[in-house]
Structure 1
Amino acid sequence: MMKKNISQLLEKFKTGLAEGKDPYFDSEEIEDLLNGISDEEAKEYLIPILDLGLRLYPFNQSLLIKRIEKECINENYETALSYAEELKHVDDPDLHVARLECFCMLEEYHKAVTYLDNLEAEKNEYLEEVYESFINILADHEFYTVGITFAKKAIKLFPENNDIQLALLYIYFDYEKNKEVIKLATKLTDKMPYSYDVWYMLGASYARIEEFNKAIEALDFALTCKDCLESKMLKGFCLAGIKNYKEALEINLEVNKEKPTSLVQQAIVQCYSYLGQNEKTKILSRFLIEVYKGNCPRSILGCYLNTFMVTSQEEEMIDALKTLASTGSQHKMHLFLQMMVSSLMDLEDSSDYSEEILKLKIEFGGNMNLFQDMLFKKGFFHFAAGEVRSALQYLEELEEENSAYYLLHPLLTLCYLETGNKDRFLNQLSLLPKDRLTVLSKINHIHFNPVHDKIMPRSKDLSSILIKNINNYN
């Protein structure tokens, strides 16, 4: 029926509803209304229209089946099955699907298997249609494992049915089974070369496993099928993944022009940063920091702070850190300070920066986690600079604050080894896990560029000394 006629019927129904009367419709008009109203209108009027239809035509088979579907929508599955039992001799695909949905939602999967087997044994003419609808319902309910099982069985029965294979592809994609998506989608691109969804899921799955070049190729095909912002954004992400920031920026700017969102603007900031466009990075990241307030993503904060780092604006960066902390971003201070230490600190001026860091304990309300992190970093950098006794001052203070701090005991073990303090060395060694020699190598995974290359050989050497002399100490 034409939309105009549906609108007229709906207006007639609304008028009767407002007057408290049941307007008259023939059964076909009721069915047209139920099938033709928009999703938005259905939320309000679908059930009242169905109830009216059942009052007017209580034995209408189509309306009785829709009553069962209504109970499924309301999650009254046992009631739905009781209504379905009243129609047990009716052969209708919608009725079959409703029963199967009830079985699965009640976790009676064996009944669903038996029901489908019976339809197959009877060579039911609707079996293929039932499988199509049922598998899509399972996907909607996120019954992925069950959906895969039924879909595979359906494909064996109907190997040429692309819709069932597409339904299985959706399940694989939502379930993040990327290898399975890639295998099936590659097969379906030959059968459905103009399907946007197939190409998009193929590209997105390649992106998930970071095969960005293959992802870009698939997304280009998707975009020839349909011009979609979702694919453009993902392509921009993949281009950034292969470090093609120039093209990534162009795509993200195009997407932002059509539909500006904080997510795409976040991608733009990162592209600006990698391309060295510091002023644009600073302006847009400042804007996003204000938008996100205290929940700004780390990548944005990192790009913002990097604009100070690359221009050696240490004092400006410290001011920016303090400003961010005072405006609700205090929970990000660990990141900020770690970046400041790792990117600005040379061994020669480590003490100056470490003192600045420690002052923040007082300035920002005594954040103990932050304070402990900074004690460890200060001790670590003194250790790396060869100032082991100075390092111990901070590490021992940290031990008093939190003796379970990650990597504290391995570093203390190395410090006491170098100072020759046998008793404390053996004590620290006893606090390490059973694989105590292996755990010392974790020190090598603390990266503080640009001093990383200077620090790592030192801890490697000390670990080697420990391994060689462990028996002597014992």
Structure 2
Amino acid sequence: MLLSQEEDDHFSLLKFESMLKTNKVLFFDSSEFENIIHYYLEEGKINLAKKALKLGLTQHPTSVDLRLFQVEIYVFEEKLELAERLIDELQSIENFNEEIHIQKANILSKKGCHEEAVNELKTALEMTEDEADIYEMLGMEYLFVENFEEAKNCFEKCLEIDPEDFPALYNIVYCFEFLEKTEDAILFLNGFIERNPYSEIAWHELGRQYASIGMLHEAIRAYDFANLIDENFTGAYLEKGKVLEKLKRYREAIQNYKITLTLDDPSSFALLSIGRCYEKINKPKLAVRHYKEAVHIDPLLDKGWKSIAVFYLKYKNYPKALEAIQKAINLDGENSFYWKLSARIHTFSVQYEQAIEAYAKAISLGNYKLSTWLELADLLLLVNESEFALEQLLLAEPLFPNKSKITYRLAGLYFMLKNEDKAEFYLLQSLALNQSNITIIQTLFPDFFKSLKLSQILNDFKNSLL
């Protein structure tokens, strides 16, 4: 009885592995060795592939195809000089072998010579009957040199050959996104869908493109089609949930996120999103429960701990808020927002020294928002560190020119420090910028607000406007 090709390959593999357990050396024809080596390489069993190759070359020393496997293994092991030397030798023997040009392209690509790799692949393309694989490799080479138009063209060729080549479809959309051609991406996807209306991947990608330019209702429609085609398409439910959140349709968003929990292992992203939506509809117990579930399944999720910290800060449970934000900081100590949030929680906890340190850390990490500087300055003022507060505001002033929230504070601080000339200078500047913000003086510097000096400056300012 004749064996099928698959059965024949399996028999060769069993025969080879049986041989390895004995001291006998059996004969295999070169095609058998090729199938055995290919199998081991696909399975990632490099040592077994090398054993098969060594024996194969002993029995078939002139086999070009086996020596090409040697090139492939050299490339895998980063032995590029040996690979290049061998491929040049093989090319001199058999220049019209497409696989030689493909392997040469792999070597050149590894060396960073992407244009030369493209030339080799174009040569291989003229020889091959399997154009899709070559076009895919060409597309990747063009991506390496950021030639996104050519890369897109190659991936489109792949899709013409096989409309179900989803990696090619993803890569085409990636190229459109990098080129910032969202409208062109939408035109392309709509055209593809006309020819392939049951491609859930295309509908999903179309939804993403619509969402990126604010066409939210069109995005929902696209995600709905994706899920009509494949009711277990988790990604479409997630993306639809995001869009529904933007539309403030929180209950519907929750429903879509919850569907994903039934289709796959629960994701921390979905649980966090559900918690956020429950907060929006004023269901705090359900919100915090889902936040905690998110960090339970992924304890390294710093965003989850941040969400818990924000939640407990909102409801004035400062000890739990501090515990949560500290866990977020332990996971991502370079996140300036976490340090600023920590500073705020410490402030509400009347732990001013720790709050000042946290604000300073946030600023050192690049959090230069106006609110950060103002909160730090106001806290320093509260603990009678007027000179330090002045120092911080003077650092902030060049970053925020003509900001009366800074200049009013500078006026008040200079008054406290008995420098009336500079107090007057900054107060006049502040009044010229925004008279209504004089309430800053009233709130933070009541002595200055009640002083004769301020009354005189105000009168002079009003007279100057007449």
- Pairwise TM-score range, normalised by the shorter structure: 0.5 to 0.7
Does structure 1 residue 376 correspond to structure 2 residue 374? Answer: yes
Match of 1:108 among 110, 113, 121: 113
Identity %: 18
Structure 2 Cα separation of the partners of residues 422 and 187 of structure 1: 71
Which of 9, 13, 16 matches 1:10? 13
Query: Distance between the aligned counterparts of 1:154 and 1:367, measured in 2?
Result: 49
SS in 2 for 1:243: coil
The 3 A distance-change label for structure 1 pair 365 and 259 is: same
Q: Number of residue pairs matched?
A: 410
User: Within 1, Cα distance between the matches of 2:111 and 2:300?
Assistant: 43
Shift of 1:336: 5.3
Distance 2:151 2:400 in 1: 53
In the alignment, structure 1 residue 28 sits paired with structure 2 residue 26: no
**Post-superposition CA distance 1:408-443 (Å, at most 9, x none):** 88444233558794425658999xxxxxx9xx89xx
- Which amino acid is the alignment partner of residue 194 of structure 2? D
After superposition, the Cα gap between the structure-2 partners of 1:392 and 1:369, relative to the gap in structure 1 and judged at 3 Å, is: closer
Q: Which runs of 5+ in 1 are unaligned?
A: 341-353, 383-389, 431-436, 445-464
Q: 1:349-388: CA deviations, max 9, x gaps? A: xxxxx9x547313468954627988883275699xxxxxx
1:423 correspondence with 2:422: yes
Q: How does 1:212-291 map to 2 (within 5 A)?
A: 212-226=216-230, 227-257=232-262, 258-289=264-295
1:188 match:
192
CA contact (8 A) 1:3 1:36 kept: no
Deviation at 1:297, TM superposition (A): 0.7
* Correspondence for 2:303: 297
* Other structure's SS at 1:204 match: helix
Residues in 2 aligned to 1:371 and 1:84: alpha-carbon distance in whole angstroms: 55
Query: Aligned letter for 1:31?
Result: E
> Aligned with 1:259: secondary structure?
coil
| Pairing of 1:55-454 with structure 2 (within 5 A) | 55-88=58-91, 89-112=94-117, 114-115=119-120, 124=127, 126=129, 128-129=131-132, 131-135=134-138, 137-138=140-141, 143=144, 145-146=146-147, 148-149=149-150, 152=153, 161=161, 169-174=169-174, 176-177=177-178, 179=182, 181-226=185-230, 227-257=232-262, 258-289=264-295, 296-297=302-303, 301-302=306-307, 305-306=310-311, 309=314, 313-314=315-316, 317-324=317-324, 332=338, 334-335=340-341, 338=344, 357=348, 359-362=350-353, 367=358, 369=360, 376-377=374-375, 396-400=387-391, 403-405=394-396, 410=403, 411-416=405-410, 421-424=420-423, 426=425
Q: Which residue type is aligned with residue 221 of structure 2? A: E
Unaligned regions of 5+ residues in structure 2, if any? 364-370, 438-456
Match of 1:447 in 2: none
1 CA distance for matches of 2:57 and 2:428? 80
- Answer whether contact 2:121 2:138 (CA < 8 A) is retained: no
Does the CA contact (< 8 Å) of 1:10 and 1:33 recur in 2? yes
**Once structures 1 and 2 are overlaid, which stretch shifts more, 101-110 or 265-274?**
101-110
Aligned-pair RMSD on alpha carbons?
Answer: 4.9
Amino acid of the structure 1 residue aligned with 2:255 = E
1:459 match: none
User: Counterpart in 2 of 1:47?
Assistant: 50
Query: How far 1:266 moved relative to its partner?
Result: 1.4
Q: 1:85 to 1:247 in 2, by over 3 A?
A: same
Q: Given residue 145 of structure 1, which amino acid in structure 2 is its aligned partner?
A: E
CA drift of 1:237 comes to 2.2
SS of structure 2 residue aligned to 1:260: coil
CA distance 1:243–1:50, shift in 2 (3 Å)? farther
Distance 1:392 1:96 in 2: 73
* Structure-2 change in CA distance of 1:275 and 1:162 (3 Å): same
Render the CA deviation track for 1:277-307: whole Å, top value 9, x for unaligned. Answer: 2111122323445666585316x64466447
Cα distance in structure 2, aligned partners of 1:207 and 1:20: 65
Moved more, 250-259 or 419-428: 419-428
Mapped partners of 1:119, 1:327: distance in 2: 54
Report the Cα offset of residue 26 of structure 1. Answer: 2.4
Q: 1:286 to 1:125 in 2, by over 3 A?
A: closer
Distance in 1, matches of 2:159 and 2:350, equals 70
Q: Which residue is equivalent to 2:367?
A: none
